[in-house]
A and B are shown apart, each in its own frame.
Chain A
Amino acid sequence: MSCSHLSTAWSSSALASSASSTRRRSSAPRSGGSGLVVRCSLRELRSRIDSVRNTQKITEAMKLVAAAKVRRAQEAVVSSRPFSEALVEVLYNMNQEIQTEDIDLPLTRTRPVKKVALVVLTGERGLCGSFNNNVLKKADTRIDELKQLGLEYTVISVGKKGNAYFQRRPYIPLERELEVSGVPTVKDSQAICDLVYSLFVSEAVDKVELLYSKFVSLVRSDPIIQTLLPMSPKGEICDVNGVCVDATEDELFRLTTKEGKLTVEREKVKIETQPFSPVVQFEQDPVQILDALLPLYLNSQILRALQESLASELAARMSAMSSATDNAIELRKNLSIAYNRQRQAKITGEILEIVAGADALAG
């Protein structure tokens, strides 16, 4: 009995370490070679080998599924590009046109901050390494920071994993829980957009921050915080410290195959902004036009964050499953060696007994 306990403990810890960061993986080789002490009967060993083989098959399949989904997520980003490019160009031109005017829009109005809404984007599923944990840890730090600043806060959680996390912590005020299934669409981002819009315009909150994982590469994603509202009328993307990036500089990630392996290229595209012809008229008040344009922009920013978050989640699952497969292969190899040794030892023992018996008879 003790043997089976040992075996489950061992295999689960091996898979867990594989799912976490690579830092811990470097210490994994202790399991290699003679380090593994197995005290089991042959039959138990065989069933362990079988179960490890099954696990390996599952993790391998999950890895392939994640890889295929990364591609689909990337297609969604690519198909939304014409829209976002045109939008940024128009916004840039509008901005040049109305620089001299005093614009007062509800979405750009900066008020003294009393309450902050934090939109946290997490994944729908687990088994993707530390992806969800990283985002939630960042959310916790941000909440602590806000507390220290003496500000009120409320959380809008998007994604099943985040919802479960915040449900276990009832002391964190939760505004709304949302879920996104599959590839994020305009409807999903619109739901978030409407919510933060109404919160901000009704002055229930004075600032809206968006926390999501920025997709850096297949093995890395950084949780970052971006200020959604108040918007800067110039259409810049700002982080919490007020550092702004011009939105005309846009990044696109692309999954490619290089020498038979999946790699990611991050492409920086500078969107061409043509000089604005001064004769363009405004059919309505510039304020009205910006009022139509900024919600579109807000929505496209949220959609973009959702897409990046999904891509990061899938990439994290891919690498977690890849190392889980590696570990399963190694574990299976070690178990097979132990199994063969025991089998050999048993055969040797039986032969010795037979030889000894024959000797005794002959003597």
Chain B
Amino acid sequence: MKLNLYVLTPKRIIWDCEVKEIILSTNSGQIGVLPNHAPINTAVDMGPLRIRLLDDQWLTAVLWSGFARIVNNEIIILGNDAELGSDIDPEEAQQALEIAEANLSRAEGTKELVEAKLALRRARIRVEAVNWIPPSN
């Protein structure tokens, strides 16, 4: 059994192919989706999306919030933007994380604090996505 995964953004189709399994970060925690999953609608939180391809290779993408719908072995993920893990430069991501941490320690006022926290969270997710080690089967 296979799953059809579509990751759509207004700019382009990020992903459109068959996969074995995905791990999705939803608003209520991460969920794993295997074939014949119960049909659900869920809000997608900012976080990594792990994809297991048909040849058991794992890939990572990063989603910046959105919505997912799983019906009849078809997963549609809608988001404003998404990045494939292979497109993220690990060194750049690490640097961005350090900058974001420095910004947070310097932030003053509620608005700045909220923005800095958000930036830090984004940077952390990107680093996480790049450095993730897939489970060995």
Structural contact, B76 and A90, CB atoms closer than 8 A: yes
Structural contact, B42 and A289, CB atoms closer than 8 A: yes
A284 at the interface (CB under 8 A from B): yes
Chain B contacts for A84, CB-based, 8 A: 10
Structural contact, B81 and A289, CB atoms closer than 8 A: no
Q: Is the interface of B mostly helix, strand, loop or mixed?
A: strand
A3 at the interface (CB under 8 A from B): no
Structural contact, B27 and A296, CB atoms closer than 8 A: no
Tell me the complex Cα distance, A280–B44, Å: 17
Q: Mark A166-196, 1 if CB is under 8 A from B, else 0.
A: 0000000000000000000110011000000
Chain A contacts for B6, CB-based, 8 A: 82, 86
Chain B contacts for A79, CB-based, 8 A: 11-12
Q: Mark B87-104, 1 if CB is under 8 A from A, else 0.
A: 000000000000000000
Chain A contacts for B28, CB-based, 8 A: 283-284
Tell me the complex Cα distance, A155–B97, Å: 37
Structural contact, A292 and B38, CB atoms closer than 8 A: no
Chain A contacts for B8, CB-based, 8 A: 82-83, 86
Chain B contacts for A292, CB-based, 8 A: 27, 43-44, 65-67
A322 at the interface (CB under 8 A from B): no
Structural contact, B80 and A86, CB atoms closer than 8 A: no
Tell me the complex Cα distance, A288–B9, Å: 20
Structural contact, A296 and B66, CB atoms closer than 8 A: yes
State how many angstroms separate the Cβ of A154 from the closest Cβ of chain B: 19
State how many angstroms separate the Cβ of B87 from the closest Cβ of chain A: 16
Tell me the complex Cα distance, A83–B16, Å: 12
* Of A277, A280, A281, A289, most B-chain CB atoms within 10 Å: A289
Q: Is the interface of A mostly helix, strand, loop or mixed?
A: helix
Q: Mark B1-24, 1 if CB is under 8 A from A, else 0.
A: 000001011111100000000000
Chain A contacts for B79, CB-based, 8 A: 296
State how many angstroms separate the Cβ of B37 from the closest Cβ of chain A: 10
Tell me the complex Cα distance, A289–B45, Å: 11
Contact of B42 among A86, A189, A283 (CB under 8 A): A283
B133 at the interface (CB under 8 A from A): no
Structural contact, A280 and B41, CB atoms closer than 8 A: yes
Structural contact, A82 and B13, CB atoms closer than 8 A: yes
Tell me the complex Cα distance, A83–B76, Å: 10
A163 at the interface (CB under 8 A from B): no
Chain A contacts for B38, CB-based, 8 A: 279, 281
A218 at the interface (CB under 8 A from B): no
Chain B contacts for A94, CB-based, 8 A: 41
* Of B6, B42, B65, most A-chain CB atoms within 10 Å: B42
Q: A289-B67, A296-B67 are in contact. Are A283 and B40 (CB under 8 A)?
A: yes
A-B contacts, 25 listed (Cβ < 8 Å): A80-B10, A83-B8, A83-B78, A86-B6, A86-B78, A90-B41, A94-B41, A185-B11, A186-B9, A186-B80, A279-B39, A280-B39, A280-B40, A281-B41, A282-B40, A282-B42, A283-B40, A283-B41, A284-B28, A284-B42, A289-B67, A292-B66, A292-B67, A296-B80, A299-B10
